[in-house]
């Protein structure tokens, strides 16, 4: 029947190079001393853009992980089964160094190259990025113990992927268990106990309310020892091949992040090994948390890129009221605004990546201490609203889980919640400012590189400096964090983006007549020029 003919629908957005098409990302890689990675990133961009990779991404989120607590004879096995599509995705990410390339070959730009690789994979399938991120983030904490470093670091740096639980294999994936049901972010209220053995190892008994990627080879966990809250490495399988006590009570039924399993787990005299000083667990694991916060920024920015790409694909192919949607002025303004947001988030993430390279001077280290928290708060919070507006560009199709836009809408909130939700991060910003004023000086020195270029920016910067001098209270935490984040993004846009894009961003985000929702850009903005970069 004629009504069954499919017309005026966008074709599948597949078999495109996701790196080459992402101009802000390509420019950032070249600008920030990671040009050596351009050939490899081009290959990754081609891979993740294939129809096969995108089909795997859809399947991995449809055929979600399944818990097998017992085998058919009644033996406790506590194993999670993943679809083969998931293994292909995470295997590709690992083989391309998304988890370790910066640690394996540290040099200027190494973190930028690794961040770009991580973002390309996370743009198409974000669930696998959780264990990839934790495996990357474990290294600074792991280095607290020479013995554990010798045993585990070569496995972490390996680009082999082996999903079996086998202590003899050459590679390893790491997970993390911090929170408990009675405390959540208040980890000092943890009740899980660690008792020392004569050989220096520990026996851990207790629970974790959230333990992500339960088929990982080892986990960093927090537990109360005789000296206080301490950090431990808990292997999934012991050296003799027997399974450690790791009883999975259930898998979490999450709103998003469906391809990745998160669980509630019980420990009963589980063997573990101390990392860092006993009683200094938070100080030890915070190194891992800081790294995963960075990846939350990268993941949110990657999600914004996916949202923009899918929305633009739709509006450039679908017509309504006699012309393409992209040529409808109101729609053009919306997608241009979404593109500006994605560009600013990408620039901020890449700038932070460069600040974490091996050549970072003291000022860079001070800058990243404050800027990571500021950017994690803002970019991750902007993600859900951004994905919703992009989803609306697809109309009804955007709400259907067959399309990446709907899956992205379910995914974006998790980056704001994980590794410190909004209040935790905002308070961390105040704490950094109060404990180490050099972080503010370094941050302001960075954003001031754009001082004098735009009157709106200059006014916003002056007011923010005034707020920093009048004495801050807890009630100021969110407001100040937002202002700092906008200053950083605006400064980067003014220095790195074309003048038209920078001016539109600054006036739309910092100006007195700025709108609350996307699609409110200043009069005179060259929308076509903005969108040509996306």
Ordered domains of the chain (ranges, CATH): 9-157 (no CATH), 174-280 (2.40.110.20), 284-532 (1.20.140.10)
**The pLDDT value given to residue 335:** 98
8 A C-beta contact, residue 151 and residue 138: no
Instruction: State pLDDT tens for residues 149-174.
Output: 999 999 999 999 999 999 999 999 99
Antiparallel, parallel or unpaired: β 262-275 and 228-235: antiparallel
**The pLDDT value given to residue 151:** 97
Burial class, 304, CB count within 10 angstroms (exposed 0-12 / middle 13-18 / buried 19+): buried
8 A C-beta contact, residue 284 and residue 277: yes
Average pLDDT over residues 93-114: 98
8 A C-beta contact, residue 156 and residue 174: yes
Residue 185 has pLDDT above 90, yes or no: no
Residue 471 has pLDDT above 80, yes or no: no
CA of 179: how far to CAs of 129, 283, 417, in Å?
Answer: 20, 15, 13
C-alpha 283/C-alpha 302 separation (Å) is 29
Antiparallel, parallel or unpaired: β 218-225 and 247-251: unpaired
Instruction: State pLDDT tens for residues 26-51.
Output: 999 999 999 999 999 999 999 999 99
Which residues, 6+ apart, have CB-to-CB distance to 431 below 8 Å?
none
* Mean pLDDT estimate for the chain: 96
Which residues, 6+ apart, have CB-to-CB distance to 141 below 8 Å?
220, 231, 275, 276, 284, 285, 287, 288
**The pLDDT value given to residue 183:** 84
Angle at 61 between CA 57 and CA 63, to 5 degrees: 110
Please state, as a whole number, how many other Cβ atoms lie within 10 Å of the Cβ of residue 97: 23
C-alpha 514/C-alpha 242 separation (Å) is 61
**The pLDDT value given to residue 473:** 86
C-alpha 71/C-alpha 79 separation (Å) is 9
Phi then psi for residue 90, to 5 deg, are -70, -30
What radius of gyration do the chain's Cα atoms show?
23
């Amino acid at each position: 029947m004629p009504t069954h003919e499919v017309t005026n629908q966008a074709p599948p957005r597949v078999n495109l190079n996701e790196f080459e098409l992402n101009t802000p990302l390509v420019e950032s890689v070249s600008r920030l001393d990671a040009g050596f990675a351009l050939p490899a990133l081009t290959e990754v961009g081609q891979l993740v853009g294939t129809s096969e990779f995108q089909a795997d991404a859809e399947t991995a989120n449809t055929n979600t992980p399944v818990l097998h607590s017992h085998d058919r004879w009644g033996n406790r096995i506590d194993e999670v089964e993943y679809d083969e599509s998931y293994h292909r995705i995470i295997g590709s990410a690992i083989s391309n160094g998304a988890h370790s390339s910066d640690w394996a070959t540290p040099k200027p730009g190494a973190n930028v190259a690794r961040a770009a690789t991580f973002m390309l994979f996370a743009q198409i399938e974000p669930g696998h990025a959780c264990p990839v991120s934790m495996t990357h983030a474990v290294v600074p904490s792991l280095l607290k113990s020479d013995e554990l470093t010798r045993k585990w670091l070569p496995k972490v740096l390996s680009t082999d992927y082996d999903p079996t639980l086998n202590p003899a294999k050459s590679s390893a994936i790491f997970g993390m268990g911090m929170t408990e049901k009675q405390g959540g972010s208040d980890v000092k209220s943890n009740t899980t106990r660690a008792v020392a053995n004569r050989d220096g190892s520990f026996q851990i008994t207790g629970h974790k309310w959230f333990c992500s990627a339960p088929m990982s080879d080892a986990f960093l966990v927090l537990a109360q020892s005789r000296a206080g809250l301490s950090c431990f490495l808990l292997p999934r399988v012991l050296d003799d091949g027997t399974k450690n006590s790791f009883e999975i009570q259930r898998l979490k039924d999450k709103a998003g992040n469906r391809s990745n399993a998160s669980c509630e787990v019980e420990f009963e005299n589980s063997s573990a090994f101390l990392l860092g000083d006993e009683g200094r667990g938070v100080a030890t694991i915070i190194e891992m948390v800081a790294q995963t916060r960075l990846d939350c920024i990268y993941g949110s920015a990657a999600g914004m890129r996916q949202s923009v790409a899918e929305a633009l694909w739709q509006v450039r192919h679908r017509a309504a009221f006699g012309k393409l949607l992209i040529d409808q002025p109101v729609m053009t303004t919306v997608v241009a605004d979404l593109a500006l947001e994605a560009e600013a988030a990408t620039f901020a993430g890449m700038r932070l990546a460069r600040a974490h390279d091996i050549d970072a001077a003291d000022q860079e280290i001070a800058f990243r201490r404050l800027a990571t928290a500021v950017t994690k708060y803002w970019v991750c919070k902007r993600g859900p609203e951004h994905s919703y507006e992009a989803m609306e560009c697809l109309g009804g199709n955007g709400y259907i889980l067959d399309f990446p836009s709907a899956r992205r809408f379910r995914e974006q909130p998790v980056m704001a919640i994980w590794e410190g939700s909004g209040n935790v991060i905002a308070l961390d910003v105040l704490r950094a400012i109060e404990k180490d004023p050099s972080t503010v000086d370094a941050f302001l020195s960075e954003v001031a590189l754009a001082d004098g270029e735009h009157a709106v920016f200059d006014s916003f910067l002056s007011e923010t400096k005034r707020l920093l001098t009048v004495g801050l209270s807890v009630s100021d935490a969110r407001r100040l964090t937002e202002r700092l984040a906008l200053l950083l993004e605006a400064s980067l846009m003014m220095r790195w983006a074309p003048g038209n894009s920078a001016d539109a961003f600054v006036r739309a985000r910092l100006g007195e007549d700025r709108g609350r929702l996307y699609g409110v850009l200043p009069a005179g903005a060259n929308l076509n020029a903005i969108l040509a970069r996306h």
